[in-house]
A and B are shown apart, each in its own frame.
Chain A
């Protein structure tokens, strides 16, 4: 029930963000702020979609406790969890190479120092986060 409340809030917030973005776009036909309004519409619809999707899935399994239990088993199944984590690990490795190459390409394209440094900072942050989790898990396990 607690989770249901959260997703209701998420769907309502997303819808509100989307509506506000659309209204602001109509009210402000020009200017750089329109990018932010478009972002509001995009993010709002994404958040609304996620929230509404979860609510619909709750409704779908409400009258089918067997299906709900099976879904829960599939979600918690140790092999499924292991497969999901291994897939995430593979994707992370690939992303590291792709992102690194992208930083180089942007560097050669001379996109400017500020965006380039931002990209490098984001790249290093993600790898720093991976090291943090490795150290933490080393201690915990």
Chain B
């Protein structure tokens, strides 16, 4: 699943460490999310969306052939 997390985070001038701390996850988790290596739980996706004041679909892009 692709996402716009890095783009959104950078546009708001937030460091990975700050975002991780605010969401209660490790910085590595944020890095892995941004690289697309890790898909978050629905809970973390909601936390991220709420943090940025956006909808989940605005951050994460679901592609039909992902299975």
Is A bound to B? yes
Is A93 part of the binding interface, using a Cβ–Cβ cutoff of 8 Å? Answer: no
Residue numbers in B under 8 Å from A73 (CB-CB): 20-21, 24-26
Interface mask (B31-67 → A, CB under 8 Å = 1, otherwise 0): 0100000101101100000000000000000000000
Residue of B nearest to A72 (CB): B24
Residue numbers in A under 8 Å from B38 (CB-CB): 79
Residue numbers in A under 8 Å from B40 (CB-CB): 78
Interface residues on A, range: under 10
Our count of residue pairs bridging A and B at CB distance below 8 angstroms stands at 26
Interface mask (B4-31 → A, CB under 8 Å = 1, otherwise 0): 0000000000000000110011101100
With most chain B CB atoms within 10 A of its CB, the pick from A74, A76, A78, A79 is A79
A80 vs B40: C-alpha distance when bound (angstroms): 12
Residue of B nearest to A79 (CB): B29
Residue numbers in B under 8 Å from A78 (CB-CB): 25, 29, 40-41, 43-44
A73 vs B19: C-alpha distance when bound (angstroms): 13
B interface residues, Cβ below 8 angstroms from A: 20-21, 24-26, 28-29, 32, 38, 40-41, 43-44
Contacts A78-B25, A78-B29, A79-B26 known; list 10 others, CB within 8 Å.
Answer: A73-B21, A73-B25, A76-B24, A77-B26, A77-B29, A78-B40, A79-B25, A79-B32, A80-B26, A80-B29
